[in-house]
Structure 1
Amino acid sequence: MANVTFPSNMSFQNEIDSRAVLRKTLRNARKSLSNDAYCYAQQAIAKQLRSIVSQDKKCNIAVYLENDGEVNLDAFITHCWTSLPNITFSLPVLHPVNKGHLLFLRYAPYTRLVTNKYNINEPELACSEVIPTPNIDIFLMPLVGFDKKGHRLGMGGGYYDRTLAFTQRVEVKPTLIGIAHDIQEVDTLPVAYWDIPLDVIVTPTRILKF
């Protein structure tokens, strides 16, 4: 992905403003979907993901819990818990020390969840349950918008970009998969130098690979 340089503070601010406007528009579109559309997306995404993950190879997958109209992954997670014992899951937790970063903790049916400052459920912090980020094979990531070049627009906090910056420096990389409704696609996203590109985008109707 090409880096973006800003010749002045004004250009930088304009870029930030354009991303904020687009983010608001796409979030509103996502939240305007009907309940039927949400249910369809959950089941269709689960089917798409089942076609991607290995049926026998051990794999640790970072998932997320739905918030703000994101595609719900519960159907896929439940299927793996009941039918694919080779798959283990982890969930993001706001890092208690390294601000702006994420930790990933093991996620199982018995995991106790608490609510973080964004009103999102996450596992209760326990050092014994931490999965080192380099040990995760696949990251399933929510997004606000995407384009056909694999660029991702998130909620604006930069948590995933900071946490996954290491993927640009290592040879063995995890697979980064963005999960979205089809209506979240745009022709071109404004790209910043800190943005981490995706390897795959999965929607209810398509699997886009880059």
Structure 2
Amino acid sequence: MSNHFEHKQATRNELRKYFRQRRNVLSAEHKHSAKKALAQRLMQFVNEQPSIQTVAVYLSNDSEPDLHAFIEALWQANIRVALPVIHPIVAGHLLFVHYTPTTQMHENRYGIAEPKLACQQVIPLSQINLMCMPLVAFDAQGNRLGMGGGFYDRTLAHYRQQAYPNLQLMGIAHDCQQAPSLPTEAWDIPLAHVLTPSKHWQFAATGTLSTDSSSE
């Protein structure tokens, strides 16, 4: 990364542009390999924690890491899967909806596929054990830079107050999305984990790096 982007005064939009470009130039072969590696690592994480019964995921967009292989593995393991849906009433918030192979889908206003909203299929945050979150960049303190809409930060606004004690937040990224440091705001929600095709970063509650489990 150039010195320009190492400097803390780089704006969030500059950083988004830089890391999206890094992600967008990855080859199809690289992305396919990343999809397989992430599915394997994620299922290993899930299998090591029997308490994980419901996992929130996302459908990839804009060269985000593809989680389809992971979703298929969750279905096979009879673990409930949820997808985010833009809240139709509360602006800037998300709902999470049960996702199955037969779920009816449509495109939201950003052109991203999401389940058609059915109230009986909404899963409360209190019932989600692991949330896999897309990101544009992350750093070694567990800070996450998103696309700028603030949907996850608003939806998880009470996470810091331990409103959802059974919920773990995990950012999903390509290795090239790691930044030396990221500018933060008071409303940013820190991550407990970041998983890339080659590493599993784990963070303490304070956002300090506690362990770094690298692949052999």
Settle same-fold status: TM greater than 0.5.
yes
Residues 140-159 of structure 1: CA deviation (Å, up to 9, x unaligned): 00000000110000000000
2:188 alignment partner in structure 1: 195
The sequence identity of aligned pairs, in percent, is 45
What value does the CA root-mean-square deviation take over the aligned residues?
1.5
d(CA) in 2 for partners of 1:162, 1:140: 16
1:78 alignment partner in structure 2: 72
Tell me which amino acid in the other structure corresponds to 2:195: V
Structure 1, unaligned runs of 5 or more? 1-13
TM-score by length of 1: 0.89
Quickly say closer, same or farther: Cα 1:141–1:168, change in 2 above 3 A.
same
1:1-210, aligned counterparts within 5 Å? 18-54=11-47, 56-57=50-51, 59-82=53-76, 84-85=77-78, 87-170=79-162, 172-210=165-203
User: How many residues are aligned here?
Assistant: 194
Shift of 1:203: 0.1
Residues 64-87 of structure 1: CA deviation (Å, up to 9, x unaligned): 0000000000001111212x11x1
1:8 alignment partner in structure 2: none
2:212 alignment partner in structure 1: none
Query: SS of the residue aligned with 2:158?
Result: helix
2:4 alignment partner in structure 1: none
* Dislocated runs of 4+, deviation >2 Å: 54-58
d(CA) in 2 for partners of 1:52, 1:135: 18
TM-score by length of 2: 0.86
Shift of 1:113: 0.7
Query: SS of the residue aligned with 2:159?
Result: helix
Residues 68-126 of structure 1: CA deviation (Å, up to 9, x unaligned): 000000001111212x11x1110000000000000000001111110000000000011
Shift of 1:26: 0.5
